[in-house]
């Protein structure tokens, strides 16, 4: 199998190896960005297709992928329907056709329903593989049809050894690994694009500093963050990166327990909103506004509390 480069996850690898003879119709690989979800899924798909060609799996006629539309940043219903239609065609080389749906937690309701029917009543030997960062955002009806494989962060020492083996210096690794949150792929991206990640780190630090200041300072920092993030080619991934960095740095940057709890709640809300219809900035923005009301009025009128929170 082509997942030797994946650090750890040995139990999941064993589960996948045992599944080769009688695989389930659908699997979902869950975990943070850079943890190895797509690599594991692709290795599993290659083994299921019995492909030893050494060529890119994307060139295999019986392997289909679905990613976010680069313009809309969504997984739309039309693209899902086209994928399902293609999956009902007969295999070109072997006995199976396999589809990989990446970032499935960004599927809209219509797209999820189209996939639900395909997974519920699959054509013989059709297998659907999903990856998701926020498993809880997926519809429960779709969750219940999939075998869940949860990937957990890896030890910093393991990631450091792996990166040094790739040729990076100890000094470079020492700077990158603490920010990666146990995700080898993220650590590698930090080293590959140091200037971009330094900008993201600066934005996260500015936000956390502002969170210990006035509400106006927080809103100003949020607006700066949003302005820079929205200029990136993949704003969803940029939001994930900045919010994740803020989560990693919050404990050391906000010593006051009450303020830390408030900011942590805002970061969690922001993470939940990424890729959805509500901007991630609303999470931290509303947490601060709500705190101001509570501090000054001692209560929060119910009509001021948005239903989507």
Convert the pLDDT of each residue in 207-234 to its tens digit: 888 887 777 888 888 899 999 998 888 8
Residue 103 · residue 67 · CB < 8 Å: yes
Confidence of residue 288 (pLDDT cuts 50, 70, 90): low
Residue 97's Cβ-side half-sphere holds a number of Cα atoms within 13 Å equal to 20
- At 256-272, the pLDDT tens digits run 888 888 888 888 888 88
**Of 218, 210, 208, residue with least CA distance to 253:** 208
- At 80-126, the pLDDT tens digits run 889 989 998 888 888 899 999 998 888 888 888 888 888 888 788 89
- pLDDT at position 303 is 45
Residue 102's Cβ-side half-sphere holds a number of Cα atoms within 13 Å equal to 17
Residue 294 has pLDDT above 80, yes or no: no
- Residues 299 and 267: their CA atoms lie apart, in Å, by 22
- Alpha-carbon separation of residue 94 from 22, 47, 97, 241 (angstroms): 16, 12, 8, 39
Structure tokens at 227: 């302005």
- Residues 112 and 138: their CA atoms lie apart, in Å, by 8
- pLDDT at position 290 is 57
- Alpha-carbon separation of residue 228 from 24, 223, 238, 249, 268 (angstroms): 43, 9, 9, 19, 21
The answer to whether the pTM exceeds 0.85 is: no
Pinpoint the alpha helices (H) of the chain. 10-19, 37-48, 77-87, 109-120, 140-143, 156-165, 170-180, 184-192, 194-211, 215-229, 235-253, 257-273, 281-297
């Amino acid at each position: 199998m082509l997942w030797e480069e994946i650090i750890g996850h040995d139990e999941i690898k064993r589960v996948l190896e045992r599944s080769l003879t009688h695989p389930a119709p659908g699997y979902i690989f869950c975990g943070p960005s850079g943890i190895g979800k797509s690599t594991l899924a692709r290795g599993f798909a290659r083994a299921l297709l019995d492909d030893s060609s050494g060529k890119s799996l994307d060139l295999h006629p019986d392997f289909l992928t679905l990613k976010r539309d680069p313009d809309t940043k969504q997984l739309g219903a039309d693209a899902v329907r086209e994928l399902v239609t293609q999956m009902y065609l007969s295999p070109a080389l072997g006995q199976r056709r396999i589809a990989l749906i990446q970032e499935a937690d960004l599927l809209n309701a219509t797209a999820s329903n189209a996939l639900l029917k395909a997974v519920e009543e699959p054509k013989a030997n059709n297998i659907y593989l999903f990856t998701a960062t926020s498993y809880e955002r997926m519809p429960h009806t779709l969750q219940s049809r999939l075998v869940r494989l949860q990937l957990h962060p890896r030890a910093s020492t393991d990631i450091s050894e792996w990166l040094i083996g790739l040729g990076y210096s100890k000094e470079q690794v020492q700077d990158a690994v603490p920010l990666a949150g146990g995700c080898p792929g993220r650590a590698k991206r930090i080293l590959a694009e140091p200037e971009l990640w330094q900008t993201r780190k600066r934005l996260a630090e500015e936000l956390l500093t502002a969170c210990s200041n006035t509400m106006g300072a927080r809103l100003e920092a949020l607006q700066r963050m949003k302005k820079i993030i929205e200029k990136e080619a993949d704003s969803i991934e940029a939001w994930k990166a900045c919010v994740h960095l803020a989560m990693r740095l919050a404990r050391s940057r906000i010593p006051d327990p009450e303020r830390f709890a408030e900011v942590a709640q805002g970061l969690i809300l922001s993470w939940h909103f990424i890729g959805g219809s509500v901007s991630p900035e609303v999470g931290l923005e509303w947490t601060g506004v709500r705190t101001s009301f509570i501090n000054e009025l001692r209560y929060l009128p119910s009509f001021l509390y948005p239903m989507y929170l």
